[in-house]
Structures are given as C-alpha cells and as structure tokens.
Amino acid sequence: MPENRPERVAAVVVTYNRKQLLGECVGSLLGQSHPLDALYIVDNASTDGTYEYLLDRGLLSPGDRHIEVQYVRLPENTGGAGGFAEGMERAAGAGFDWLWLMDDDVLAAPEALDALVRKQEELKAAGHERVILNSLVLARDLSDDDSLAFPLREPSPTGSPRIRVVHWRLSEVRNMIRDGLYPWICPFNGTFVPARAVTEVGPPRREFFIYGDEMDFQFRSARVFRQYTAVDSRVYHPRPQRGTFDWKQYYCVRNMFIVNRHFDYATLRNIRLVLAGLAMGLRHGTWGMKLMLRAIRDGLAGRLGKRDDLP
C-alpha cells in the first residue's frame, strides 16, 4: 500500500431473516462520522424479502455517501460461520485494509468506527501494528451504558479465559482498562480486523455453521495479533435470551469441544461441558437427551459441519 494512501475500511454484516434489524444496522453504518469505504451485506438465503426491504428503503444505494454497497445472497444458509468467511474473503480480496464485522442485530453509535480508527492509528504510531480491536458491546435493550450484551472475560497469563470469571457490567472492569483498552474481545460484534488476518490466520471455519466459530477465530488470531476492546467505540446488541432449548443447542455444545482445545485445562472444561449438556438434555425429555448425546459424541470425535437432519 502506498504510504500516502489512507487505509480503507469495509464493514461485513451477516444476516438471515431479520430484515428490520438489518435495516437498522445498515442505517447506523451508513451514518458513521468516519465514513465506511464499503459495506458487504452477506444474506444467508433469507426468505423474508430482505433484498426488497433494503431496496425499498434506499439502503443499497447510499447516494451521496460514496460508500460501495455489495449485497451478496448465498444459495443456502451457511450460518454465521459461512457468512463471515464469505464476506471476509470477498472484502479482503477486493483490497480493503480493515474489516469491521458484525451480525445484523448490532446497532453502531455514530462515532463507533471513528473511535476504532483513531485507536488503531495511536497503536500503530506506538509501534503496535498487529492488533485486532473490538467495539464495546452494550446491551441494546437497556439504557444505562454500563450493562454489556456479552460478558467480558479475564485472560489468564497464557491467554485462556479464567474459568467462571465473567463481567456483565463495564463498571466491573474499569480498573483493568488501560489507555481506553480492555484485553478481551467479543467477536463478531463490531470487530475491527486487519484484512491480512484472512490469509495469515484464515477466515472463520465454515464447518462450525453456528456457535463457536467466533471464539475459534478469536483464539487462532490471538497467536498473531494482540486483541483489545476499545471502550470508546460503542455498539449495541440485544442480550442473549435465556431458557431457550432447540436444535441450535446441538451446535452450541458440539462446537465448544473444538473451541476448548485452545484453552488451558481443556479436559476439565470438557467434563463440565458434558455434565452441562446432559443436564440440559435431561430437562427436555427423550428428544433433548438424544440431541445432547449426539452433540457430545460428535464434539469429542471432532465431527463438524452442518447437519442435514436438523432444521
């Protein structure tokens, strides 16, 4: 890249059947104080009229904003893992320098990207070029600017998350923030990734389908890039719904066996995962127990991929 050329940023948003939330997300991205250079919308074969919805609201033609909008409709639902892999590969292949990654239910504050760009430039000037940054992910359904949508973990000296140490409020980690940075990220929710990570680390692993692909990418990339949440960059995401049990829990449990390979005490973590999976299955009858047993069996064997016999 020529020394005098500004680095170019492309946002990558993955969506599936949530056109209204997607419209709000896209609107917040087109209204950034630091304009994007491009926006890639990766549609996992939505059936709710997503394309027509965006078209009718003028979100695919941003007018005088001079932002390139690429709408990519995949032939089938490849999950978050496949969607982000597709979008990241396309944007990196098109020559963009930074990729800002998020799901379709993220709402970005107007200064969110500007804060990331400024912090990245500060780090670069200090000699820290190999970084991945994340926006602070606040709870969208609360208004206190302290409640987090996803917990911030505490890394151990080896980089693994400390067992049972989670923080759901920004105020709980204030004393661990240095120069506006906290040493943990919550991918893919406002994650600011150098495009070269796609070749140096590899994109998210498509075979995860849903759940765990973001953590797998996080820990693979942590071997190459320092990772921080930039607390002045703020995005908003709904808090996860508790108590729901369906076919998705198969992927959640199965994939965590693969993710645990990155961590200290992997065997202990797997034992806890087996017990949690069995307890969850037991609460949901014969079908639930069969689903969890299959997830545990496939996870321990390292079998990944989308299962055609699940919805």
> Tens digits of per-residue pLDDT, 6-38?
899 999 999 999 999 999 999 999 999 999 999
Q: Are 212 and 124 in a shared domain?
A: yes
CA distances from 192 to 52, 185, 219, 250 (A): 29, 10, 15, 29
Structure confidence by residue, pLDDT tens digits, 197-249 = 999 999 999 999 999 999 999 999 999 999 999 999 999 999 988 778 999 99
Q: 0.85 exceeded by the pTM?
A: yes
243 within domain boundaries: no
CATH of residue 47's domain is 3.90.550.10
262 shares a domain with 170: no
- Whether residue 188 is preceded by a cis peptide bond, meaning omega within 30 degrees of 0, is yes
> Which domain covers residue 62, as residue numbers?
9-237
Residue that finishes a domain, picked among 218, 237, 256: 237
Which of 237, 266, 281 is a domain's end point?
Answer: 237
Domain contains 2? no
Q: Could you identify the residue written with the tokens 């940023």? A: 9
**Same domain for 292 and 180:** no
From 33, 37, 32, select the one nearest 7 (Cα to Cα): 37
Domains in the chain, number:
2
| Mean pLDDT of the region 108-137 | 97
